[in-house]
């Protein structure tokens, strides 16, 4: 039942790619996601282990396809819905 | 993955969720902007480089850094307290016999409070999966060829500690100032994927 | 509560493969290693992730030979593990 995040020792991943002159964030929204997560953790809306758990529960195909901060944002909205802060359709803006 | 992406769908979703949380009293106005400013003013690899340079010129500081990282970095005004609670810092010194390299196979644990955000490759599945299993091959891809006689120890940041590698001081650097020495130290050296 | 292990102790990691969040990586399950040091006391991540109350307990740096994890390799891997993941390794390895 190991989750998709548990990749240590797996074979088949490609060579490691370094990005020259990598910026801290590739877009403003990534910094917003980090700040948002920090604010919600600080308020105790969820804890860091619940946050990691929510990332790990992303279905494997989507986990591997998503960028790092896309995974974070998805975990944040998952937890906001599960904690009853807002309904999924409200979070999606529908 | 470049450019501002201000108009990307996810950027709009993030703005929407922020507005919703403000409406529900779970975010204060300006809180996000203040946090972003704090992130920008937070740790950078220069902090790690300063610690390494001090350890190279001051053997007593080196001993303190290896014995109790949190107490030693406070001497230079640094702390591991950027997160909700202070994290334990463990520093491992490279020498001719042993080379250390750090990973978080389960997610992306990294001494952010000290060094700032980790590089993209550190968070990649490729690095996380491979370095625990074939570190010598991974280090070679980074351009670091270690003698066969140098043992490699991989540190998996799987719980609450955060790790920093103390690289070996390069030869022919006698007489260099602490500041000049700090300029030699790279982020990869602090993670263990480069010699310095 | 006293720590169950001390530096130098031989330990074996649990084999159980939980469905919930855990911080014992798959590659280090059911493996024999040696406690290097104690790394403080913390509530168990598995419990915190499920919203359960959790008392701090000892966390250790445990060193494994790569050959004991992967059947090959001349390096070592140090994993930081809660004592819940460990049992004494009394049997000869």
What digits encode the pLDDT tens for the residues B22-35?
999 999 989 999 99
Which of the residues B107, B129, B158, B177 is marked catalytic?
B107
Does residue B2 carry a pLDDT above 50? no
Residue A67 has pLDDT above 90, yes or no: yes
Whether residue B103 is found in the same domain as residue B57: yes
Structure-block tokens of residue C49: 């992730």
| Same-domain check for residues B115 and B135 | yes
User: For chain B, how many structural domains are there in total?
Assistant: 2
8 A C-beta contact, residue A30 and residue A69: yes
pLDDT for the residue numbered B1: 41
Structure confidence at residue A68 as a pLDDT band (50, 70, 90)? very high
C70 and chain B in contact, CB less than 8 A: yes
The reply to whether B23 and B83 lie within a common domain is no
Neighbours of C3 (CB within 10 A): 14
Q: Is C82 left (phi over 0), alpha (psi -120 to 50) or beta?
A: beta
Are B23 and B49 in a shared domain? no
Say if B26 falls within a structural domain.
yes
DSSP string, B98-156: EEEEEE-SSS----HHHH-SPPHHHHSHHHHHHTTT-HHHHHHHTT----TTSEEEEEE
Its domain, for residue B17, covers 9-40
Question: Which residues does chain C have with pLDDT short of 70?
Answer: 1, 91-93
Residue B83 lies inside a defined structural domain of this protein: yes
Nearest-by-CA chain A residue for B1: A26
State CA C45 to chain mean position distance: 13
C-alpha to C-alpha distance for A55 and B109, rounded to whole angstroms: 14
Q: Do residues B20 and B69 share a domain?
A: no
Catalytic residue among B79, B108, B118, B161: B108
Helix (H, G, I), strand (E, B) or coil at C12: strand
Record the pTM. Answer: 0.95
In a domain, B146, yes or no: yes
Give the ipTM of the model, two decimals please.
0.96
Cα–Cα nearest to B167, from B84, B30, B44, B62: B62
Helix axes A48-56, A28-43, angle to 10 degrees: 130
Answer yes or no: B107 catalytic: yes
- The domain that contains B91 carries what CATH number? 3.90.330.10
pLDDT of residue B4 exceeding 90, the answer is no
Give the DSSP letter of residue B73: H
What's the average model confidence in pLDDT over A75-92?
96
Which of B133, B135, B157 faces C80 most closely, judged by CB atoms?
Answer: B157
Domain co-membership, B74 together with B164:
yes
In a domain, B1, yes or no: no
pLDDT band at B8 (very low <50, low <70, confident <90, very high): confident
Is it the case that residue A44 has pLDDT exceeding 70? yes
Evaluate if residue B155 carries a pLDDT over 90.
yes
CATH 1.10.1060.10 fits C10-88, yes or no: no
Distance from CA of A1 to the nearest CA of B (A): 14
What residue spans define the domains of chain C?
10-88
Q: Is there a single domain that holds both residue B87 and residue B106?
A: yes
Name the residue among B105, B155, B160 with its Cβ closest to that of C40. B160
Contact A27, B3 (CB under 8 A): yes
Neighbours of chain A (3+ CB pairs under 8 A): B, C
Distance CA A86, CA B14 (A): 14
Estimate to the nearest angstrom the gap between the alpha carbon of B138 and the chain centroid: 18
Domain residue ranges in chain A: 46-92
Same-domain status, B20 and B116:
no
d(CA B37, CA C87) in angstroms, rounded, equals: 46
Check if B104 is active-site. yes
Residue B51 within a domain: yes
Residue C69 token pair: 């994890």
In a shared domain, residues B79 and B102: yes
Give the pLDDT confidence of B98-126 residue by residue, as tens digits.
999 999 999 999 999 999 999 999 999 99
Are residues B94 and B25 part of one domain? no
CA–CA separation, B76 and A28 (whole Å): 31
- Would you say residue B36 lies in a domain? yes
pLDDT in tens, B40-80: 898 999 999 999 999 999 999 999 999 999 999 999 999 99
Which of B10, B83, B192 best tests the A interface by mutation, with the highest count of A CBs <10 A? Answer: B10
Q: What is the pLDDT of residue B7?
A: 60
């Amino acid at each position: 039942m190991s989750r998709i995040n548990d990749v240590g020792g797996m074979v088949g991943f490609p060579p490691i790619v370094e990005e020259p002159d990598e910026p801290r964030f590739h877009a403003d929204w990534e910094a917003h996601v980090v700040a948002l997560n920090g604010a919600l953790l600080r308020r105790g809306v969820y804890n860091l282990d619940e946050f990691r758990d929510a990332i790990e529960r992303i279905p494997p195909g989507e986990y591997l396809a998503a960028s790092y901060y896309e995974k974070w944002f998805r975990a944040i909205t998952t937890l906001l819905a599960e904690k009853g802060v807002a309904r999924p359709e409200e979070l999606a803006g529908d | 993955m470049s450019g501002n992406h201000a108009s990307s769908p996810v950027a709009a979703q993030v703005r929407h969720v922020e507005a919703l949380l403000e409406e529900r009293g779970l975010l204060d106005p300006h809180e996000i902007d203040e946090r972003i400013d704090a992130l920008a003013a937070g740790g950078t690899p220069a902090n790690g480089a300063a610690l390494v340079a001090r350890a190279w010129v001051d053997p007593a500081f080196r001993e303190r850094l290896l014995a109790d990282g949190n107490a030693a970095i406070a001497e230079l005004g640094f702390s591991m307290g950027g997160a909700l609670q202070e994290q334990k810092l463990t520093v491992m010194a490279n020498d001719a016999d042993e080379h250390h390299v750090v990973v978080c196979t389960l997610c992306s644990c990294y001494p952010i409070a000290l060094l700032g955000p980790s590089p993209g490759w550190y968070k990649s599945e490729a690095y996380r999966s491979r370095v625990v299993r074939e570190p010598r091959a991974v280090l070679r891809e980074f351009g670091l060829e270690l003698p066969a006689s140098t043992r490699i120890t991989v540190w998996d940041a799987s719980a609450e500690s955060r790790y920093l590698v103390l690289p070996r001081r390069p030869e022919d650097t006698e007489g260099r100032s602490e500041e000049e020495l700090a300029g030699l130290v790279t982020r990869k050296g602090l993670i263990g994927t480069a010699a310095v | 509560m006293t720590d169950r292990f001390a530096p130098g102790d031989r330990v074996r990691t649990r084999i159980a493969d939980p469905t919930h969040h855990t911080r014992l990586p798959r590659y280090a399950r059911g493996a024999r290693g040696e406690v290097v040091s104690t790394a403080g006391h913390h509530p168990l991540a598995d419990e915190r992730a499920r919203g359960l109350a959790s008392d701090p307990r000892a966390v250790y740096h445990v060193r494994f030979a790569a050959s004991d994890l992967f059947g090959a390799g001349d390096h070592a891997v140090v994993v930081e593990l809660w004592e819940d993941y460990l049992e004494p390794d009394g049997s000869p390895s």
